[in-house]
Amino acid sequence: MNTKTAAELKSFLEIPYDELEDMNLKAAQRAEQAGAQDLEQEYTAWLKKEKHIKAVTLCFSDIEGRLHMLDYDKKFLLGSLGNLTFDGSSIRGFTPQHESDLRLALDWSSIRYFPADVIGAGKVIFFASVLNSDRTPYQSDFRGMLKSLTERLKKTEDITAYAACEIEGFLVEGQNAEQRYGEHGLNLISTGGYYHSLPMDPLRQFIDKSAEAQRALGFKNEKDHPEVAPSQFEMNFSYAEAVRAADQVQLYKLICRQVARSMGHTATFLPKPFVGINGSGMHTNSSLSKNGRNMFYDTKGKDGLSDTAWDFILKLLNHAPEICLVFNPSVNAYRRLDPHFEAPNQIKVSAVDRGAMIRIPMANEKTARIELRSVAPDANPYLVLYTMLKTGFQGERVEKNATTGDRARFLPSSISDAIALFNESKFVADILGEDSKRKYSNFKQLVADRSPKELGTMVKTSEILFHHEVTNQMLWNRF
């Protein structure tokens, strides 16, 4: 009689965390050295050889930045690499029903060996590009758009774009707390902030478990800690090439949500889920490199930045009102742009004032960068970095209102104002494409129409339930 347990019978791949970290760091290094064809040969050979892999998870994001994951049987995937199709009409912001078929193309450089206790045993993850049925790049897949842009910059000008995002969130009581907001709101897991959250309390345990998984994925974490607001967290990781940095934002949020769920709670990345305490941001640090040299650094430049960096900054400031909807994509995001809570809502740059939308951190030649503080944590990271780069290279530079000495200008105070500025902008159509601009705006308008025009002093149920990272088919149709 066979007495083996179910786990023994399945025998799927499970790798210790220290080995995972080493594997993921080596994979990232290999991705920088090898071409796509070589990587495909290496990983298809590995998948064929590895008997304990049951499925390959392909990740892609819709136009609003919501992560989607499809599991392919390993054998089916290897036999169908040139013909991986899915129904695009089922994804918000993708194709209409009458032209719904889209394709997925694996990005072999994006492999992640995942912790089995977070994502499940026997799986490996790749990000994928979305293609039209004729295999041309799909214009509403901003991961693919960002990848094409960065590859073009590298090929034509030998410029590499780097980024790192500091993503804040809240840990709240109960599973699916956002979807159940109408029952009893959101409840903080603790009242501790920077200095009041004790070791081994639920918030610290959540941070520890999430950070361990991130390190295993090769994030190269730098510091992991509670944030200023009660029950708020932030885990910082190192600089990376722009596409990889955006991938890490999506994985960071996935890990946090998975770990929180395993603890019976919810990790939320709503920008301002509570009135009266600090909201959450996604401060986006970026720089450019050429021939191994940081193009944003100049020891003799103002605040240690080069003319290239200042050109980039002044273009972002000039176009800030019309691209604000990209950086702050929800009704709830405009609650965060509140000057009483270190809100980065002033259209200016400063080395010291955290109310400025762009900050210049103290840095040296290696770390010189700009920090765009006005980005909300629910923004599409690929669209954010794509918009930043396109604006920095193609925008119009205007000196006025760049520093604290000029009359202050402010970002839009509501999503309705942001949508209007976005819709009126020819520049947005030029950099995003008219079709993507229209799609994105239409989805934001649909959500805005489901909430009161005025934010008021309380968080409304509608701005939570119809949020693009929260809503589902059932919730959306209960309006």
Cβ(450)–Cβ(330) under 8 Å?
no
- Give the largest CA-CA distance in the chain: 83
Question: What is the arithmetic mean of pLDDT over 349-358?
Answer: 90
Q: What number of other Cβ atoms are within 10 A of residue 273's Cβ? A: 29
Higher per-residue pLDDT: 465 or 353? 465
How much is the pLDDT for 87? Answer: 80
Q: How far apart are CA 187 and CA 301, in angstroms?
A: 47
How much is the pLDDT for 152? Answer: 97
Average pLDDT score over the chain: 91
Burial call 189-219: b when 16+ CB within 10 Å, e when fewer: bbebbeeebeeeebbbebbebbbbbbbbbbb
Alpha carbons within 13 angstroms on the beta-carbon side of residue 366 total 2
Structure tokens at 11: 């025998």
Q: How far apart are CA 336 and CA 283, in angstroms?
A: 13
How much is the pLDDT for 261? Answer: 97
Q: How far apart are CA 277 and CA 409, in angstroms?
A: 24
How much is the pLDDT for 245? Answer: 97
How much is the pLDDT for 133? Answer: 87
Domains and CATH numbers, the chain: 11-138 (3.10.20.70), 159-476 (3.30.590.10)
* Whether pTM exceeds 0.85: yes
Please report which confidence band the pLDDT of residue 143 belongs to, taking 50, 70 and 90 as the band edges: very high
Best CA proximity match to 187, nearest among 197, 198, 177, 201:
177
Best CA proximity match to 17, nearest among 118, 144, 143:
118
* 3-state SS class at 87: strand
How much is the pLDDT for 95? Answer: 59
How much is the pLDDT for 101? Answer: 83
Report whether pLDDT(131) > 50.
yes
Q: 346 forms bridges with which residues in the sheet?
A: 356, 410
How much is the pLDDT for 193? Answer: 64
How much is the pLDDT for 113? Answer: 95
Cβ(241)–Cβ(160) under 8 Å?
yes
Least confident of 120-124, 149-153, 383-387: 120-124
Report whether pLDDT(341) > 70.
no
Q: How far apart are CA 87 and CA 93, in angstroms?
A: 12
Dihedral of CA atoms 347, 349, 354, 360 in degrees, nearest 10, equals: 150
Give the chain's radius of gyration (CA, Å).
Answer: 22
Question: What is the arithmetic mean of pLDDT over 280-306?
Answer: 95
Q: How far apart are CA 479 and CA 309, in angstroms?
A: 46
Higher per-residue pLDDT: 41 or 94? 41
Q: What are the pLDDT digits (tens) for 376-431? A: 999 999 999 999 999 999 999 987 655 544 567 999 999 999 999 999 999 999 99
How much is the pLDDT for 349? Answer: 95
Report whether pLDDT(42) > 80.
yes
How much is the pLDDT for 362? Answer: 87
Q: What share of the chain is helix, strand, coil (3-state, %, to 5)?
A: 40, 20, 40
Question: What is the arithmetic mean of pLDDT over 116-133?
Answer: 93
